[in-house]
Structure 1
Amino acid sequence: MAATGDESAVMDSICKAPAPPTDLQLTAEPEPEHEHEQEHRRDDATENPKAKRPSTNNDGGVETAEEATEPAEPDINELCRDMFDKMSVFLQGELTATCEDYKLLENMNKLTSLKYMEMKDISINISRNLQDLNQKYASLQPYLDQINQIEEQVTALEQAAYKLDTYSKKLEAKFKKLEKR
């Protein structure tokens, strides 16, 4: 049965697709319905004479085996050179980016080291000041102890004064009682 319209276009595209070099390409030759399809097939046959061999069998529905051909290859050396150049540019970019990352890390480490040195200096100063304060507190401790003793004595003296005041009031009250009698 002959291929029509879209089927014919699909079959033509299948026939034109390059086959891998080790595969055999088996296609059925559909009968052309239009003259331009017949001319197109003639052009294909003249472009690649090894690809299409005329069938000796007159039966139109029988598939024929065709010799596999490799598609025309562009200059491999030029393509390889181009690929290596592009890979070189890519790797240069990657290595440059990596180097820049390491430089950035190095700068960050230097800045961090400087900050830690500043913090170390600050902590040393704080430690010295704290030691000075502790020494001053230790030198003031006897005076603070004396102040505490004086405070205790003042409290005891105050209590004694209250007791004395209460006692004197009682005595006064007794004395007034005795006078009235």
Structure 2
Amino acid sequence: MEKEQQPTTSTHNQLLDSPRGPTLSTSTSSFEALDAHDPNLSRLATIMFRKTEEYITQELNGPLEDYKLLEEMNKATIAKYKDMSQIADNLSVSTNELSLKFQQLAPLMQQIDEISDTVDKLEAAAYKLDAYSIALENRVKCVLKRKSGANTTQ
């Protein structure tokens, strides 16, 4: 029978320090299920694994919470854009209605402008007529004064 060759220390270090990183030893574990073991060590190992589990869970839940937040923000943004789109549509409809009403009122506004021009001309004519009537009244008064002055001298 051949002796099983034990790897030398340098060979053993080469296995542990392979190009991909350290590899696990092929030897059996020092902890066997049926062997007596330190209960304090077992309790500490359990605590360590529980804490490690909590840490990894939190590390994995962090990005998940970020994605949930992003999803909620996206939903809020979508809702806001829908509201803004509805407002823009309503503004467009209102603008079109106002434009149509303005087009319908344009002939009436033209008539109002023409009436306003006519009223301005009538007002100017009334001022001229008033000035003429005042001047005429003054002439009549002047003629009457002359006549009454001529009647008193006779």
The normalised TM-score by structure 1 is 0.51
Aligned length, in residue pairs: 109
More helix by share: 2
Tell me, yes or no, if structure 1 residue 100 matches structure 2 residue 72. Answer: yes
Tell me how far apart the structure 2 counterparts of residues 177 and 77 of structure 1 sit (CA, whole Å): 137
Q: Tell me the alpha carbon deviations over residues 129-175 of structure 1, each in whole angstroms, 9 at most, x when there is no partner.
A: 33433331113333332222222111111111000000000000000
Q: What residue number does 1:158 align with?
A: 130
Report sequence identity in percent: 11
Tell me how far apart the structure 1 counterparts of residues 106 and 118 of structure 2 sit (CA, whole Å): 19
Report deviation, 1:83.
4.0
Tell me how far apart the structure 2 counterparts of residues 100 and 135 of structure 1 sit (CA, whole Å): 54
Tell me how far apart the structure 2 counterparts of residues 96 and 155 of structure 1 sit (CA, whole Å): 81
Tell me how far apart the structure 2 counterparts of residues 82 and 169 of structure 1 sit (CA, whole Å): 118
Q: Tell me the alpha carbon deviations over residues 21-64 of structure 1, each in whole angstroms, 9 at most, x when there is no partner.
A: xxxxxxxxxxxxxxxxxxxxxxxxxxxxxxxxxxxxxxxxxxxx
Q: What residue number does 2:22 align with?
A: none
What do you get for the CA RMSD once the two structures are aligned?
2.6
The normalised TM-score by structure 2 is 0.58
2:112 pairs, out of 101, 126, 140, with 140
Q: Tell me the alpha carbon deviations over residues 84-122 of structure 1, each in whole angstroms, 9 at most, x when there is no partner.
A: 433222222221111011111111111111112222222
Matches within 5 A, 1:39-78: 74=45
Report deviation, 1:82.
5.2
Tell me how far apart the structure 2 counterparts of residues 142 and 136 of structure 1 sit (CA, whole Å): 10
Q: Where do 5+ consecutive residues of structure 2 fail to align? A: 1-43
Q: What residue number does 2:91 align with?
A: 119
Relative contact order higher in (CA < 8 Å, ≥ 6 apart): 1
Q: What residue number does 1:6 align with?
A: none
Q: What residue number does 1:178 align with?
A: 150
